Amino acid sequence: MKRAWLVALVLTACVDRPGFDLASVSLDTLGKTLPTGFLFGTATAAHQVEGGNVDDWTDFEMGTFPDGRPHVANGDQSGLADDSWNRFDEDLALMQALGVTAYRFSVEWSRVEPEEGVWNAQAMARYREWATKLRAAGIEPMVTLHHFSLPRWEAAKGGLERPEIADDLAAWARRVGTELGDVVDFWCPINEINVVAAEGWLVGAFPPAKTGDTATQAKVMANLLHAHAKMAKALREVDVVDANGDGHATLITTAHHVRIFQPATHSALDTAIAALTDDFVNEAIPRAFATGHIALTVPGTIDLQEDVPDLKGSIDVLGLNYYSRDIVRADLGSASLSTLTYRPGRPTSDQGWDLYPDGLYILLKRYGAYGWPIVITENGLSDREGTKRSLFLEQHLAALERAVGEGVDVRGYFHWSLLDNFEWADGFTPRFGLYQVDYANGRTRTPSPAVATFKRISQNLR
């Protein structure tokens, strides 16, 4: 017993170990050892910033849970959001002031295909204009094709629960790839397969707001993995123009949400459930990309096995979205088998998320072993006052640079986000922007202190 306790302690200590000395992070040198051409950018998603979108989220935002609570905190609706649809030039100028070399944004399916088979050429032309302007400004566009929202007509057919969603998303990818392929090389077919399934079918915080339906949660993940494989194939077929001349007409990534999971106690049960959670959330998806076999298992609740040979080789780059760490307490009565908490006394974001830069280092070292080049497709925090973002940025970049120094092939970092925006079920309260948006006053954009930090780091990059 005593020995087991000691082993657990040592293991936990290992997980915690690579603490780094903050004093050693210097803005004079931060980023200087990153590879030439490192993509240093920001990320957004259409429904969160554009404004004026009409999709399944629009309907969800107007709804309530059975107990009367609004689906979105404070009854917020995305509405005009940041009005970025009409302010691209202004936002591009903000990016230039930051010194970004890349920008990840999503193309909103409901805008371009508002009714099934009915295409809005003007909307597509606007996205084309954006990609063209970005490229002219020396900013590499990365385009996401599904970032949580679906056209109403697609949701009405059954949305992500239907296996046919894979073919519909592939047709969508084919269309966008055909239209934008000569100005876009870098594609992210689907954002956060694990999150969209968990929030929609386990937690119930996203449409269709189902809870504890782990069987459908797994099915949705599998449908989206099928979709990814088909979307990647379609993009590679239609996008044959190498827009930036780097030898790749297409680079396919994903935006995989990863977290650090640590057991709340040294008990065998907490330890086992933390390991299981880690495997399901963090590993199952990259493993499917690596092997062409989907294996989603949670003892007693989920058992889904499928061969999808086309998944193997369907990413060129592994994109990771990293935000925080969870402390896992076994809770065998709940559908996820666990309750997630945060360690007390830690620095946190406004939403209480543990700010844990070492986690980025740990995960980069781990995912580097798969052999794909890695891009951090999202990393950020809610910080309304703008007092923590600079340090957050410095610490996470230092963690990344340390992993690169130890041989991990990391090609880029995208900060979430360029602007404050509509944070899904949490509405407009959390503020993720490098630029703060004043929603009561013309949606004016004001630089947070981290803008200077970002710019400083960008000047260190080659």
Residues in contact with ligand GCO by the rule CB under 6 A:
45, 48, 191-192, 195, 257, 321, 378, 416, 423, 432
> Across the strands, what pairs with 354?
348
H/E run at residue 284: helix 284-291
Cα of 216 vs its chain's centroid, Å: 22
- Please report how close the Cβ of residue 343 comes to ligand GCO at its closest, in angstroms: 20
Cα angle 162, 165, 166; round to 5: 120
For ligand GCO, the closer CB: 48 or 338: 48
3-state class (DSSP) for residue 416 = coil
- Please report how close the Cβ of residue 159 comes to ligand GCO at its closest, in angstroms: 18
- Please report how close the Cβ of residue 353 comes to ligand GCO at its closest, in angstroms: 9
For ligand GCO, the closer CB: 153 or 416: 416
Rounded Cα–Cα distance for residues 316 and 330 (Å): 36
For ligand GCO, the closer CB: 181 or 412: 412
- Please report how close the Cβ of residue 97 comes to ligand GCO at its closest, in angstroms: 22
For ligand GCO, the closer CB: 191 or 216: 191
| Chain position carrying tokens 């830690």 | 346
Residues in the chain: 462
- Please report how close the Cβ of residue 106 comes to ligand GCO at its closest, in angstroms: 9
State the CB neighbour count (10 A cutoff) for residue 213. 18
φ/ψ of residue 459, rounded to 5: -70, -20
For ligand GCO, the closer CB: 372 or 416: 416
Cα of 15 vs its chain's centroid, Å: 23
For ligand GCO, the closer CB: 174 or 325: 325
Smallest Cα–Cα separation from 196: which of 164, 149, 239? Answer: 149
For ligand GCO, the closer CB: 154 or 423: 423
Smallest Cα–Cα separation from 402: which of 108, 21, 145, 1? Answer: 21
Q: Where are the beta strands (DSSP E) in 160-292?
A: 186-190, 251-252, 256-263
Amino acid identity of residue 452, one-letter, is A
- CA 136 vs CA 37, 131, 248, 435: distances in Å: 16, 9, 18, 23
- Please report how close the Cβ of residue 130 comes to ligand GCO at its closest, in angstroms: 18
For ligand GCO, the closer CB: 108 or 192: 192
- Please report how close the Cβ of residue 415 comes to ligand GCO at its closest, in angstroms: 11
Strand 256-263 relative to strand 318-330, pairing: parallel
- Please report how close the Cβ of residue 326 comes to ligand GCO at its closest, in angstroms: 14
Round the CA-based radius of gyration of the chain to a whole number and report it: 21
